[in-house]
Chains A and B, each alone.
Chain A
Amino acid sequence: QQQVKQSPQSLIVQKGGISIINCAYENTAFDYFPWYQQFPGKGPALLIAIRPDVSEKKEGRFTISFNKSAKQFSLHIMDSQPGDSATYFCAAAIPMDTGRRALTFGSGTRLQVQP
Chain B
Amino acid sequence: DGGITQSPKYLFRKEGQNVTLSCEQNLNHDAMYWYRQDPGQGLRLIYYSQIVNDFQKGDIAEGYSVSREKKESFPLTVTSAQKNPTAFYLCASSMTGEGEQFFGPGTRLTVL
- Do the two chains bind? yes
Q: A107 near B40 (CB under 8 angstroms)? A: yes
Given contacts A98-B50, A100-B48, whether A43 and B106 have CB atoms under 8 Å apart is yes
Q: A95 near B97 (CB under 8 angstroms)? A: yes
B43: interface (CB < 8 Å): yes
Query: How many chain-B residues does the 8 Å CB contact rule pick out?
Result: 26
Given contacts A44-B43, A44-B90, whether A99 and B96 have CB atoms under 8 Å apart is yes
Q: B residues within 8 A CB of A107?
A: 40-42
Query: How many chain-A residues does the 8 Å CB contact rule pick out?
Result: 27
Q: A42 near B106 (CB under 8 angstroms)? A: yes
Q: B residues within 8 A CB of A34?
A: 99-100
Give B residues with C-beta under 8 Å from A: 4, 6, 31, 40-43, 45, 48, 50, 56, 90, 92, 94, 96-106, 108
A-B contact pairs, 20 of them (CB 8 A): A4-B42, A34-B99, A34-B100, A36-B103, A42-B106, A43-B6, A43-B90, A43-B105, A46-B100, A89-B42, A93-B99, A95-B97, A99-B96, A99-B97, A100-B50, A100-B97, A101-B98, A103-B45, A107-B40, A108-B41
